[in-house]
Structure 1
């Protein structure tokens, strides 16, 4: 399903719903994540052009908007790109500010687990034409062997768990679980490595319950799942 941008008729309500989804999602995180999402929402409301899909604002101006220094701006923008919510369309060169766009599919996939907290009417609206597809995007390579039966006999326990996660929620899998690698499995503890500290912290904060549930369904001896940076 194609993502429909909130423009034209009913655009205002769609924008409001998107901001609501981000706010509810932020409330489920720690204070650092809440602050990141608040800054993201502020930038969207203040400077994002919905018609052209462009967030065009200099680091100095953004620092003033967020009441931080420019080093913090660089760090926060990097986190937003790592989440997949921001996509750089043009780098800052020759005195021109960088231009970013929003990946609505990534935002909807990240916030989807929290829609129920708003209410069934909200879920129905968000699951409409503007929502992210339940199928992987055309430019996303499907995880080999989503069904456990297609996995080789010598597949690791993590490969089998990945297969289950990919079948349950392809969008979340491609965004958060595909990049994790098994580094240890002993005494009921499955240890996974993430590509960055931010990725590890986000999975631990927002997806550990789902991860542990899938792990226990695959192997009942697993009691703990630990995610750390490589």
Structure 2
């Protein structure tokens, strides 16, 4: 269960996780991306109302906070809206500033490649565990348990390859995948959530295919679905 609303028990920690994700992402990017992320982090920290899931602040105040002019504010806010990091919930009107909400799911999806810099436990904590809604901490980097090879399937053996190559990445994304079926050269894997499946299908299928082909060259396609 992806934690997309920082409310309820553990909300304070989840707020810090969102800010950490933005910071870790920015520090691995160029100056333009770093400045945009820093401006959003500062705006969130200073003015975001987490209880109401709302950012209601005028462009003049934002300009003062960011030490820029209002034209720059308009441009940067448009960038943030364009990538889905901020969502307009109510347009500005006479005597009333625009209101936004944080696009948490999009922020987490876009910053996911930087989570590994924080650690595999961070990735697992932010995404959560769909099985019972509880967060289960992962072992620390270098202490990721190897996969069980007893099934002897191509996926079991491929997991061993993935674990050896990148234990943190394996723990965060590959370990939770299960073998759903095989039809000819097509291997189907099941992920515990829609977000998990979408991320792996978009970013990691080439790596999965390479690992599977390393143990069974008859595999020519890997598909990731959501477990039913």
Distance in 2 of aligned mates of 1:119 and 1:106: 20
The SS at the match of 1:49 is: coil
Structure 1 CA distance for aligned equivalents of residues 81 and 107 of structure 2: 11
**What is residue 111 of structure 1 aligned with on the other side?**
111
TM-score under structure 2 length normalisation:
0.57
Partner of 1:170: 198
Name the structure 2 match of 1:68.
68
Instruction: Give the CA deviation at 1:170.
Output: 3.0
- TM-score, normalisation: structure 1: 0.57
**Unmatched runs of 5 consecutive residues or more in structure 2:** 136-172, 174-184, 186-195, 211-228
Change (3 A) 1:66 1:26: same
* Structure 1 unaligned residues grouped into runs of 5+: 135-148, 150-167, 178-209, 218-230
Name the CA distance, whole Å, in 1 between partners of 2:200 and 2:45: 26
Contact kept, 8 Å, 2:3 with 2:126, in 1: the verdict is no
Give, in angstroms, the shift of residue 130 of structure 1: 10
What residue is the counterpart of 1:142 in the other structure?
Answer: none
Asked if the contact 2:4–2:105 (Cα under 8 Å) also holds between the matched residues in 1, the reply is no
Contact 1:110–1:172 at 8 Å: present in 2 too? Answer: no
Contact kept, 8 Å, 2:57 with 2:99, in 1: the verdict is: yes
| Equivalence for 1:226 | none
- Residues 2 and 20 (structure 1), Cα distance of their counterparts in 2 relative to 1, 3 Å cut: closer
Aligned to 1:87, the other structure's residue is in SS state strand
C-alpha RMSD over aligned residues:
3.4
1:25 maps to 25
Larger radius of gyration: 2
Query: In the TM superposition, what is the alpha-carbon distance from 1:126 to its structure 2 partner?
Result: 1.2
Confirm or deny that 1:47 pairs with 2:47. Answer: yes
Deviation at 1:169, TM superposition (A): 6.2
Question: Runs of 4 or more off by more than 2 Å in structure 1?
Answer: 1-4, 168-173
Structure 2 vs 1, CA of residues 14 and 27 (structure 1 numbering), >3 Å: closer, same or farther? Answer: same
Cα displacement string for residues 57-93 of structure 1 (whole angstroms, at most 9, x for unaligned residues) = 0000000000000000000000001111100001111
